[in-house]
Amino acid sequence: MKLRVATRKSALALTQTRWVIDALKALTPNLEVEEVQIVTEGDRIQNVSLAKFGGKGLFVSEVEAALADGRADFAVHSMKDLPAKLGEGLAIACVPKREDARDVLITKDGLELDALTAGARIGTSSLRRSCQLRAFRNDLQYKLLRGNVDTRLRKLDEGEYEAIVLAHAGLLRLGLASRPLWPIPAEVCLPAVGQGALALEARVDDVATNMILAKLEDSTTRTCVEAERAFLAMLDGGCHAPMAAHARIEDGERLRIDAMVGAMDGSSILQAGSEHYCTGLDEEELRSTAIRIGRTLARSLLQQGAASLLEEARAEAMRVQQTQS
């Protein structure tokens, strides 16, 4: 059997896709997989924050188009790039086991956040990261940093920044996690929805492909991602506002999720958390519980005032897009 996989052309995307290909081939005799490499709008736009130029869909819509028009049978995404609503007729067919979900602070010497000198330049493309880190260290300069992982590391090494913030999972997958870095505790910076996880997306009606992809499914990761994405969907969230949600199963019996929504300038951060004992639940019951907890957490933040923060962020993103159109 032969399948075609749609993927972005970045080094990280190709590394992740080829890991999936190798894993599927190991589980499926005589399987052939052809890469359909796509340069997305998010890859082409390198000098503007994603929050100000369309959000997460910039990395996904053109890949999903390849599924919709039949050029590809499935796609491999970083889960955190997927918007809350997928393309019509498409679904997340498989969620493999998650890598470390945390962000990491990278400096030349492996310094922790507390050790940076006042005024140090911190490179990040994420409103979520800069908002939370600013609450912890508001005496640092948070500067826009775009480009692939190699480009961002090069800018650090060349002295353009004193530190940069990246996802630990990407560095691990690329074999670049041996350089000095400091994993940022979730108490300081909650990870993005889906960070560290992959999403294998396919057409809902393609039963044969879905059955093959399901062989890589990790039920624990799926449960946690369902909780996080339910939170995201309830808030109609994307990249426009600082937003985070991180779920995990603790001690094998408690599903815990923490979340935040912040102001664009980091002046306000709303936080909430919830947990539920999940022993004795089958997979379907566990996932429905995860979705309910994610939605409940979103409602809690809306009651705290998250709706106004989200509306301000969307209005600002719309204003910027209009001035650049």
pTM for this model (two decimals): 0.91
* Predicted confidence (pLDDT) per residue in 22-70, tens digit: 999 999 999 999 999 998 765 555 555 555 545 555 679 899 999 999 9
Hey, which residues are catalytic here? 81
Parallel/antiparallel/unpaired status of strands 121-124 and 163-167: parallel
pLDDT at 252 (0 to 100): 86
CB 148, CB 44: distance < 8 Å: no
**Which stretch of DSSP H or E encloses residue 213?**
helix 207-213
Q: Of all helices (H) and strands (E), which one includes residue 293?
A: helix 283-304
Task: Give the separation between CA 261 and CA 144, rounded to whole angstroms.
Answer: 20
3-state SS, residue 123: strand
pLDDT of amino acid 266: 81
Give yes or no for residue 292 having a pLDDT over 50. yes
CATH code reported for the domain at 103-183:
3.40.190.10
Residue 96 pLDDT grade (very low, low, confident, very high; cuts 50, 70, 90): very high
Share of the chain above pLDDT 90, in %: 78
- Homologous superfamily of domain range 219-325: Porphobilinogen deaminase, C-terminal domain (3.30.160.40)
Task: Sketch the domain layout of the chain as residue ranges.
Answer: 1-96+198-217, 103-183, 219-325
Same CATH fold assignment for domains 1-96+198-217 and 103-183: yes
Domain spanning 1-96+198-217, CATH class: alpha beta
